[in-house]
């Protein structure tokens, strides 16, 4: 039986991030992907022009439809823009006793468009941090969560990761992809300490959807029965290769997508 993972997130009409990136990642990694759409965005490689939020009761209906039928091994949560949306998702997780949840706290698009209402941030931390196995903020999202300057080095990344852990998260993967240097360093922090994951930094402007892709790749690993450390290591390698191959696609006029199917499209 094929492993099943679900993405609960926003739709990206340009296909590079959000639900579309998650489902591509699941498929590329041998996972059957299902979805719960929490928002729709009018979006392309140049930015986000409009957002339409799905009513919370319809989000709940999608959750019930998916989890009542499919045997779900892991769940990735992405863009949830309002407190009522967060609460609907939290209630659904409890109702179906959902395990192996990877929460990507999507707050701002790469273009700078704000994707999370201010009052939703408090709900996200209160309702979903304790329910998630892993929270995956990038440097800018960690800064927003903590109302602190963006971390400039690994020491500051570790300190901020530990502070996010103290907010109620079970584990935190603080991602250094937006930093400088020849290596992209991510730190996995939980009650057992800190583990360091590194990858070569690739020079390309086609990095749209990297955060969505990484978090869904971690969920894919968990769905396959990997430990959290194994899932993070495999996800890091997959995203690095997808970024390295991104320029092969030549999609759009802005920040194009990574190449989710770099291993399959030869």
Angle separating helix axes 210-223 and 18-28, nearest 10 degrees = 40
Q: Which two tokens stand for residue 139?
A: 């440097």
Would residue 92 show up in a list of annotated catalytic residues for this protein?
no
- Choosing from 18, 176, 211, 256, the catalytic residue is 211
Would residue 211 show up in a list of annotated catalytic residues for this protein?
yes
Burial class of residue 29 (count of CB atoms within 10 Å of its CB; 0-12, 13-18, 19+): buried
- Choosing from 24, 76, 175, 236, the catalytic residue is 175
- Choosing from 209, 221, 240, 256, the catalytic residue is 209
- Choosing from 14, 16, 177, 212, the catalytic residue is 212
- Choosing from 15, 207, 236, 240, the catalytic residue is 207
Is residue 238 left, alpha or beta, with left meaning phi > 0 and alpha meaning psi from -120 to 50?
Answer: alpha
Q: For residue 22, what are the contacts with CB-CB under 8 A and spacing of at least 6? A: 7, 9, 33, 35, 76, 78, 212, 213, 215, 216
C-alpha span between 87 and 131 (Å, rounded): 12
Of 255, 207, 212, the closest CA to residue 235 belongs to 212
Tell me how far apart the terminal alpha carbons of the chain are, to the nearest angstrom. Answer: 27
Would residue 33 show up in a list of annotated catalytic residues for this protein?
no
Would residue 227 show up in a list of annotated catalytic residues for this protein?
no
- Choosing from 41, 75, 210, 213, the catalytic residue is 210
Of 49, 59, 81, the closest CA to residue 7 belongs to 59
Would residue 252 show up in a list of annotated catalytic residues for this protein?
no
Would residue 266 show up in a list of annotated catalytic residues for this protein?
no
Show which residues are catalytic: 175, 207, 209-212
């Amino acid at each position: 039986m094929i492993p099943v993972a679900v993405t609960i997130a926003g739709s990206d009409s340009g296909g590079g991030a959000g639900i579309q990136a998650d489902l591509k990642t699941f498929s590329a990694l041998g996972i059957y992907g299902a979805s719960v759409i929490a928002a729709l965005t009018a979006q392309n490689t140049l930015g986000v022009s409009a957002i339409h939020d799905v009513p919370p009761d319809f989000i709940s209906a999608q959750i019930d439809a998916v989890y009542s039928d499919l045997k779900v091994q892991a769940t990735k949560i992405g863009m949830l823009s309002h407190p009522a949306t967060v609460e609907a998702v939290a209630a659904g997780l409890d109702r179906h006793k959902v395990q192996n949840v990877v929460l990507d706290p999507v707050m701002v698009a790469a273009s700078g468009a704000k994707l999370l209402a201010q009052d939703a941030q408090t709900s996200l931390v209160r309702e979903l941090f304790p329910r998630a196995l892993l929270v995956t903020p990038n440097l800018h999202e960690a800064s927003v969560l903590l109302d602190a300057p963006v971390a400039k080095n690994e020491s500051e990344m570790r300190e901020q990761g530990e502070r996010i852990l103290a907010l109620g998260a079970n584990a935190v993967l603080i991602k250094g992809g937006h930093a400088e240097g020849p290596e992209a360093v991510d730190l996995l922090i939980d009650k057992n300490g800190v583990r360091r994951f590194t990858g070569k930094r690739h020079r390309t402007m086609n990095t749209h959807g990297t955060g969505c892709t990484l978090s869904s790749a971690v969920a894919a690993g968990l769905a396959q029965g990997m430990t959290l450390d194994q899932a993070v290591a495999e996800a890091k390698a997959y995203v690095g290769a997808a970024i390295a191959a991104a320029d092969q696609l030549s999609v759009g006029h802005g920040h194009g997508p990574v190449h989710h199917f770099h291993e399959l499209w030869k």
